Each structure stands twice: as C-alpha cells, then as structure tokens.
Amino acid sequence: MKQKFCLATGALLIAGVTGILSQPAGANYDEANVPVYTLPDPLVCPDGTVVTNAVGWQEKRRPELVRLFEEQVYGRAPERPRAMRFETISVVTNALGGRATRKEVAIWFTGKKDGPSMNLLLYLPNAARQPVPAFLGLSFNGNHAITSEPDVRLSDRWLVERKGGCVTNNRATDACRGSETSRWPVEKILARGYALATAYYGDLEPDFAEGWKQGVRAALSPTGANPTFPPDAWGAIGAWAWGLSRALDYLETERPVNANHVAVLGHSRLGKTALWAGARDERFAIVISNDSGEGGAALARRRFGERTADLNRAFPHWFSGNFKKYSGREDDLPVDQHELLALIAPRPVYVASATEDLWADPRGEFLAAKAAEPVYQLFGQPGLGVNPQPAADQPVGDAIGYHLRSGKHELTDYDWAQYLNFADRHFHR
Ligand code: GCU
C-alpha cells in the first residue's frame, strides 16, 4: 500500500517538475521508485541446468523460453497454412521516378478469395544487379499511407482515425494517402540498396478489443468465426507477428530479394510485434524494435512507465489470456523481456528508445538489451559491449545495437539512419 502511494505521488511530482504531461498520468516516472528486482537468468533452465554453450542454448533453453513466451505472454500461433497462395495484383516498373519497381501482392492465407488475406506492398531498387536485402515492417495506417504514390491501392479494411482526419466510418479515403510517409523513408531505403516490404497490420486483425472477429484469429480458428480462445492462444500481437512470417514466406519466393537478409522492424506496438516475430522465426536475419516499451523491449520488473496492468486494461486483445494473471504481478512472470531479446541471438537485434518516451521506459529497454548479453556471449559475440546507457543520440553496440534518440515516441529519419547503418554492418555491405 505504502509503495503504491509513493509511486503515484512520484509520478505527479515528476510530471509537474519536468513538464512530461504527454506521458499518461499515474505511472511511475521516477527512477528512485523502481523497486529492487531480480531478473530471471536466461541461462538457467527450470530444472536447474545451467546452459554453458551455444548448443545447449539452441537445443534446450531456447525452445523452453519460446514455449514460456507463447504460453504466458503472446500466445500460440498456428503454422503456415498449407493452402496459402500469393497473387501479384500490380507491378509498376518505373515507380518513384524510375528508381523502383513496385509490386502489390495479395497473400491469401487459406488459398481462398473469400478467406483472410493481407496485401503486401513491395519496393525493389531498380539499380540492383543482384538480390537485395530488405526491410519488412507493418504499418499503422495502410499501404496507401506509407507513400504518396497515388496508384497504390487504398486499403478497404477497418482503419482507426489517427492524425490527419482522413478516415470516414473507419474506412480510408483518398485524403489518407501519404499520411504515414514520415515513418517510411522509402527513397532513402532504396538508395541504400535495400528493398522495402510492408503491409497494414489491420489486414491481420483490426486493433480493438473485438477486432479479432474480422481477423485471422477468427478466420483460422477451427471453430470458425466464434472461437473461444484458450488462455494460451494467440493475441493480436501474435496474429500481427504471424503475418510478418507469412510476408517472409512470400519474400522467399521473390527472386530480386535476398530472403536470408531480411530485417524485420516495427514501431511501438508494432515493435513489440517485430520482436516477437523475430524471436519465434529464426529466418529473420535482423530484428529492430523502435520504442516498443512494455511488452516489447522494456523490462517488466522495473515497473517504470507502462505496466502489465496498463496493457491488459487498455489493450485486452494484444496478449494471451494467461498474460492477464500478471497485472500488477510482474515478479511472477516466468520470463522478462531481456529473454525475448536473447531469443534473437546470435542474430543482430537493435533496440531504440527516445528521451521523452518515458511511458516506454527507455532505461528499461537499455537494461534489457544489456541483460541479453550473456546469451550472445555463448556465440562468441560481445552483444551490446557498452555500459552504462549512452547519452542521447549516441548509437552504440555490436550484435545488439542501441540508441536513445532525443525527442518523442516516433519512428524518425534519425532512427532509420541507424538501422540502415546497422544493417550495412551486419550484412557486410
Ligand atoms: C500505447 C501503449 C503502448 C504502445 C503504444 C503504441 O501507448 O500503451 O504499449 O506501445 O500505444 O503502440 O503507440
């Protein structure tokens, strides 16, 4: 009781003093109120075995941790549907003033046109002479929003009204075109020799509590449109992450793309999604989390900014039913988020925070990256290789990259510049 009281007053005080009123009120934003906590050791199995080498990690501990995250956090997702089909909807060879070939591809998950589907938008650099690496990420607002090109299909799915005021009755209008371009510097990505693949997360599941009824969770459930989800079944983040794997299935068939060099990335809730996709699916060569926060890269046990109870209250559809047990009980979680990052080892992972994004607990994101290091070291990799947390705008790291950007909760050109450099370094370009 006493601790609760301290957290609340601490938050008000900090908000008052530093003017961080854009941070939801009532949370702890005071480092002094972070309780003493003990993180689960990623190298110690529930049976007490200590993992000392990469083989032990890959064969025993990694599968064990994937299972725990599935059962207790994100829920279990189905395999790739056998009948899944790809259909090229459009190809424009002189997109963006001739710099790119642009494709739109429908992924029919059950192979049927009256079944669930996702529309992938793909930009390929025309200057490439050999298969190129690619960035893959879901968008918040639809394929038509990441580019101003007027002939990209306008999403006909459920859309939420965000900034710009272009959505009518939860449907996109032409005025929505280009509304998210600041997050997707397509031309810069192409100029650096990368392809970009993206899809709208609402194609997989519209992002509201009842959205599952219009998404893959209902459509792929054996009981049809009215499933009762067992407590370890996939939540919306699980469904979105599953969609990223299906996009990669497609990229594996796309000759101009080197599918062994696909970096999956996401911002915020879609950063949580990218991490879970990359943790589960070892085909992703690099995983990038932009301001993913609680349920993403941030350590839950720090109880700083957003907490498990906040997630479960505001977004009951994101996580598994079992995750509800951990509202206010972070110490009871059998895992913490450094272990999610560790599941990506030895593949490179990048965690980015922003100074004003206290809700996402920048320091908790850094400490999770740091605490994933022992697993990278099993593979002879230094991991992050630095301590303490770097000052703002100083990217650091090795197989684990990290930066704390000055500014707000956003995906910016600065963030992308670091991701492009990180990918160049790890793809030896
Ligand atoms: C909310 C939510 C976060 C999430 C963010 C976003 O702030 O509490 O967990 O990351 O939305 O996706 O923008």
Mutation probe of ligand 1 site: the residue of 319, 359, 410 with most atoms within 8 A of C-beta: 359
At the second CATH level, the architecture of 63-427 is 3-Layer(aba) Sandwich (3.40)
Q: Which of 117, 268, 292, 320 is catalytic?
A: 268
Which residue, by CA, sits nearest to atom 12 of ligand 1?
269
Quick check: is 403 catalytic?
A: no
pTM assigned to the model: 0.95
Average pLDDT value for residue range 67-79: 97
Q: With a cut of 60, say whether residue 335 has pLDDT above it.
A: yes
Provide DSSP, 384-413: T---SPPPTT--EESSEEEEEESSSSS--H
**For residue 221, what pLDDT is reported?**
86
Ranges of beta strands (E only) in 53-210 are 85-94, 100-108, 117-125, 132-139, 195-200
Query: In the numeric block, which tokens belong to residue 390?
Result: 């770097």
Q: What is the pLDDT of residues 243-259, one digit of tens each?
A: 999 999 999 999 999 99
> Is pLDDT above 80 for 299?
yes
Instruction: Please indicate whether residue 406 is annotated as part of the active site.
Output: no
Local confidence band at 22 (pLDDT 50, 70, 90 cut-offs): low
* Mean pLDDT for the chain overall: 93
For residue 295 the two structure tokens come to 């349920």
Provide residues with CB under 6 Å of ligand 1.
268-269, 293-294, 306, 314, 359
pLDDT digits (tens, 9 = 90+) for 172-214: 999 999 999 999 999 999 999 999 999 999 999 999 999 999 9
Number of H helices, E strands in the chain: 14, 10
Query: Residue 311 pLDDT more than 70?
Result: yes
Alpha-carbon gap, residue 361 to 354, rounded angstroms: 9
Alpha helices in 99-215 (DSSP H): 143-146, 186-191
